[in-house]
């Protein structure tokens, strides 16, 4: 009986290539901490009020950040103005005011002026990465904080709850879930072009909701199976609720055209992925995956070709191939 190609080892190499490297992670952490000190100093010395507290959020805290093919890395660091949270919301400062405080606190920290966006203040580092600083207030007796939206005022938002939810999902389902999220982000990064794709947060929730267990040592099968579950759900009902407070609908702004285009792309991913899973030729399977993910996905060189190229003395242990739940 012929054995199907198994590309788990290539997927693991791909994951190492796309995920945030330790040096970059440390650089982001250093920049984040420097901004925290700058903001604390501004509040203490200029505003003469208590210093804010900070909590990291988003993909950085979930360990699902990927290196973009082009463009900037990002990190989200929540600024919590606990000391300004009086019981009555009408006594809180205007959201435009607190945005202005953070802009002034970080202005001049980098050569590029900070961007005052609706939901955060963005600090840009040499077109390499940026730090987003969303601003929150949370009264002592409140269960959830509120976000300073520059035009909508104080709105419900609790990113810590989402981070905790995802980390609990990983505890229950294993680290493979984080890799699956990174694969979806890498697929989006390579394929997005001008078309609308789900945000990284939405891919994270979809992958956790529809993660298919049973392929612990078979990332290629796990990825295709999870993509199929996501497709089936969205094709039936193009809807996704945030799993934690505030439990709003996350896909309600998608046009019918955008929905159709994305479902077509997802369907094609599944068909091509299934083709890769069903081939007996590992080089052919790897070539299919490279069409899905781009040339960051590693090529496969058969052992006989490696010998022809003078790699016969390599001492690395060969990968053990197996079906891992596939039918042959």
Residues 6+ apart with CB under 8 A from 318: 303
Q: Which two tokens stand for residue 133?
A: 């600083």
Q: How far apart are CA 86 and CA 53, in angstroms?
A: 16
Q: How far apart are CA 239 and CA 118, in angstroms?
A: 25
Tell which residue, 52, 53, 56, 50, has the closest CA to residue 32: 56
- Omega of the bond prior to 89 within 30 degrees of 0, cis? no
| 249 DSSP assignment | B
Tell which residue, 158, 163, 121, has the closest CA to residue 142: 158
Q: Which two tokens stand for residue 290?
A: 């490279």
Tell which residue, 70, 97, 73, has the closest CA to residue 21: 73
CB-CB contact of 265 with 195 (8 Å): yes
Query: Rg (Cα) of the chain, in Å, rounded?
Result: 23
Q: How far apart are CA 31 and CA 75, in angstroms?
A: 10
Tell which residue, 264, 257, 300, 263, has the closest CA to residue 281: 300
Tell which residue, 2, 23, 20, 1, has the closest CA to residue 280: 2
A 10 A CB-CB count for 324 gives 17
Q: What's the angle, vertex CA 175, arms to CA 276 and CA 144, rounded to 5?
A: 125
Give the mean pLDDT per block of 10 residues along the chain (328 residues).
Answer: 78 96 90 96 94 94 93 90 76 94 96 96 88 92 92 95 97 98 97 87 98 96 98 98 96 96 97 96 96 96 66 43 40
DSSP codes joined into one string, 136-169:
EE--TT-SS-EEEETTTEEEE--HHHHHHHHHHH
Q: What is the pTM of this model?
A: 0.89
Q: How far apart are CA 217 and CA 327, in angstroms?
A: 16
Q: Do you know the residue count of the chain? A: 328
A 10 A CB-CB count for 132 gives 18
Q: How far apart are CA 246 and CA 39, in angstroms?
A: 28
- pLDDT of 222: 97
- pLDDT of 306: 63
Q: Which long-range CB contacts under 8 A does 110-118 form with residues at least 24 apart?
A: 116/150, 117/150, 118/149, 118/150, 118/151, 118/152
- pLDDT of 328: 34
Q: How far apart are CA 46 and CA 50, in angstroms?
A: 11
CB-CB contact of 237 with 231 (8 Å): no
- pLDDT of 303: 74
- pLDDT of 324: 39
The 10 Å CB-count burial string (b at 16+, else e) for 195-213 is eebbebbebbbbbbebbbe
- pLDDT of 84: 74
């Amino acid at each position: 009986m012929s054995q199907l190609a198994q590309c788990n080892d290539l997927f693991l190499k791909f994951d190492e290539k796309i995920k945030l490297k330790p040096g970059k992670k440390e650089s982001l952490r250093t920049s984040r901490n420097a901004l925290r000190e700058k903001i604390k100093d501004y509040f203490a010395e200029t505003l003469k009020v208590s210093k804010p507290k900070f909590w990291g959020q988003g993909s950085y805290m979930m360990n699902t950040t990927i290196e973009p093919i082009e463009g900037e890395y990002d990190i989200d660091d929540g600024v919590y103005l606990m000391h300004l949270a009086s019981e009555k919301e009408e006594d809180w400062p205007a959201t435009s005011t607190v945005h202005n405080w953070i802009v002034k606190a970080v202005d001049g920290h980098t050569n590029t002026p900070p961007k005052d966006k609706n939901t955060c203040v963005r600090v840009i580092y040499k077109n390499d990465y940026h730090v987003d600083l969303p601003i929150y207030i949370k009264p002592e007796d409140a269960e959830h904080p509120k976000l300073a939206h520059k035009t909508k005022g104080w709105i419900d938002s609790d990113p810590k709850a989402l981070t905790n939810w995802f980390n609990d999902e990983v505890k229950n389902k294993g680290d493979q879930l984080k890799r699956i999220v990174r694969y979806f982000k890498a697929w989006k990064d390579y394929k997005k072009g001008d078309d609308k794709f789900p945000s990284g947060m939405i891919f994270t929730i979809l992958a956790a909701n529809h993660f298919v267990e049973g392929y612990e040592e078979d990332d290629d099968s796990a990825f295709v199976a999870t993509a199929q579950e996501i497709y089936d759900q969205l094709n039936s009902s193009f809807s996704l609720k945030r799993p934690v407070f505030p439990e709003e609908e996350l896909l309600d702004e998608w046009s019918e055209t955008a929905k159709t285009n994305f479902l077509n792309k997802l369907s094609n991913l599944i068909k091509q992925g299934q083709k890769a899973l069903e081939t007996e030729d590992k080089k052919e399977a790897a070539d299919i995956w490279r069409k899905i993910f781009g040339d960051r996905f590693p090529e496969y060189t058969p052992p006989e070709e490696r010998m022809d190229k003078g790699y016969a003395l390599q001492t690395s242990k060969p990968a053990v191939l197996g079906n891992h739940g596939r039918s042959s």
